[in-house]
Every structure is written in structure tokens, then in C-alpha cells.
Amino acid sequence: MTIARRLLRLSRALATTVWQSMVAVGAVQLAGETARADSRLADAPAPGHPERLRPDVPLTALERALLKDIGPAR
């Protein structure tokens, strides 16, 4: 086998290994995000989100005023 073929084989093997490693890292980093995105409602924050409203706690005077200022939800 010539040196050029060996270098081609080596570079393909290296490129394949790097590609598979990048795919694995991306899958690990996005695994939690895709699971959370599937569970979200289109018009509400995700469960446990700090801005999620509690139905048992009434709005404060400031929150009611801000809600009045921004108008109805679209």
C-alpha cells in the first residue's frame, strides 16, 4: 500500500472519529433541552420556571397594574 493511500485511510478514520464524537457530545448536551421542549405548553413557561404563575397566589397591585398596561394577551 502506498503512503498516499495510508494517509487517506488515516484521515478518513480520524474524520469519522471526530464526527462521531461531535455527534455524541451534541446529543448529550441537547438531551435535556429536547425533553423539556416536548413537555412545554406553547403559551406557558416550563414547569419549575421561576416566572411560572401560581394559581393559588393572587396578583399583587403592581402586577395587576402591569397587566393592565400591556393589555390583553394575544
User: Could you please report the per-residue DSSP string of 18-57?
Assistant: HHHHHHHHHHHHHHHHHHHHHH--TTSPPTT-TTPPPTTS
pLDDT at residue number 26: 87
pTM more than 0.85: no
| CA nearest to 47, candidates 58, 37, 60 | 37
**Who contacts 62 (Cβ-Cβ below 8 Å, separation ≥6)?**
none
Domain interval for residue 16: 3-70
Number of separate domains in the chain: 1
**Rounded average pLDDT per 10-residue block, the chain, 74 residues:** 92 96 88 60 63 79 88 65
